[in-house]
Amino acid sequence: MINKKELLKILKNKKLDSYSEEILSQLSLVVKKTLNEKIKEIKNKKRVIANDDAKQHIPATKVFSDADIETFPSWVRNDIQNTQIVGRSLKVLQTSNGKKYHTNNKLNDLSGGEWTFFLNSVINTRYPTTGEESFAHHIRKAHPSPKPPQLMQEIIQFFTKEGELVLDYFMGVGGTLLGASMCNRKAIGIDLSKEFINLYKEANEFLGLKEQVTIKADSINFLKNNSLEKNYIKKEDVSLILIDPPYGDMMSREKTGEAVKKNGNVSSTPFTELKEDLGNMPWKEFLNTFTGSVKNSMKLLKKQGHVVVFIKDLQPKDGETNLLHCDIIKSLHNLNGLNYLGTKIWADQGVNLYPYGYPFSYVSNQIHQYIMIFKKG
């Protein structure tokens, strides 16, 4: 299954031919695992198809009016002439490629299979940082912690329908806004830094996407003063608030350990030098300020809308556990009718590993971040 001759040619060009057996062995394991997973998936698909074949099928156009069809996702509408209603409930639509959509789905435009895939509590990724698939990473990397547009797109697609509005009031270089444009959603982004907003616009132009609304402002006061409501959107107009706030003063601290060895200096890398930047606040001050911002944003979020928050824990230190995500959950749960639904863990396999603590003590390489999900009741 693996062309050994081609592999050896590639490794020789990279001067890694002495590792050929080790690499070939690892590739064989990966291929075998992937093949077994695919076989299992196909067997399950065949079982579902056989089960569906036993149910009644009615052409969708015989049951649903043109007005009804206009409410369906674009992938269903575009194949409506070949779409069948499966089963007695008359609620399940199946397109010609086998994808299913339930007409009671008021949350998103996903098929049942896509919905199930998103429910995995752990997301493992290794997004490219060069080339077309990097989505302008060469521009976005000027930010200390740019979120991948591909990841933001997946989150947006689960919690919204096409054409709905997403708000990110810590937009940085616009990972959320790019993700929204990639799946035909509207978005508004706010940031303190004009530089970061300009980098978003540069990346967006490079990718040829529709530019979203951006606002240079202190989002904390902007929300507190109802400036969005006065000038940009109506009450309860937002379907999803997707935010990746600064994690307190994590980035504004001097570097230690492996970071010093690698870069040769201890200088901090704050998001901005501004006093009002949450990234320059001690954790307790940050938590109070951040909680206030979410409270003030609730009037903009529609009923049954969602708030999704990224956060990363600090290393335990001086007797403190530094479980920042737990603090966020406790602070936001039951805030103005907001309910905590659960957490996804994003494991970024592209992060470099370092021998922290070697050879004296265990110190974790924290390649993961927490994605906490809340719903407005």
For residues 172-189, give the mean pLDDT.
98
For residue 6, what pLDDT band results from cuts at 50, 70 and 90? confident
Here the tokens at position 370 are 């927490």
For residue 59, give Cα distances in angstroms to 56, 72, 200, 278: 10, 15, 45, 55
Q: Is 64 helix (H, G, I), strand (E, B) or coil?
A: coil
For residues 224-247, give the mean pLDDT.
93
pLDDT value of position 131 = 95
Residue 255 predicted with pLDDT over 70: no
> For residues 87 and 55, what is the distance between their CA atoms, to the nearest angstrom?
5
Residue that has been written with the tokens 């990724």 in this structure: 125
For residue 27, what pLDDT band results from cuts at 50, 70 and 90? confident
- Contact between 236 and 299 under an 8 Å Cβ cutoff? The reply is yes
Nearest to 212 by CA among 156, 245, 165, 170: 165
Q: Which one has a higher pLDDT value, 250 or 217?
A: 217
For residues 17-39, give the mean pLDDT.
89
pLDDT value of position 375 = 98
Kindly report which listed range (30-44, 142-156, 257-271, 322-336) carries the lowest average pLDDT score.
257-271
Structural domains of the chain, with CATH:
54-104 (no CATH), 122-376 (3.40.50.150)
Residue 123 host element (H or E): strand 122-125
pTM value is: 0.86
- Contact between 373 and 342 under an 8 Å Cβ cutoff? The reply is yes
SS3 percent helix, strand, coil of the chain, rounded to 5, is 40, 20, 40
pLDDT value of position 1 = 61
Please report, rounded to a whole number, the percentage of residues in the chain having pLDDT higher than 90.
71
For residues 205-228, give the mean pLDDT.
96
Q: For residue range 141-155, what is the model confidence (pLDDT) as tens digits?
A: 999 999 999 999 999
Kindly report the average pLDDT of the chain as a whole number.
91
For residues 16-29, give the mean pLDDT.
88
- Contact between 80 and 72 under an 8 Å Cβ cutoff? The reply is yes
Residue that has been written with the tokens 């990966």 in this structure: 30
pLDDT value of position 12 = 87
pLDDT value of position 280 = 84
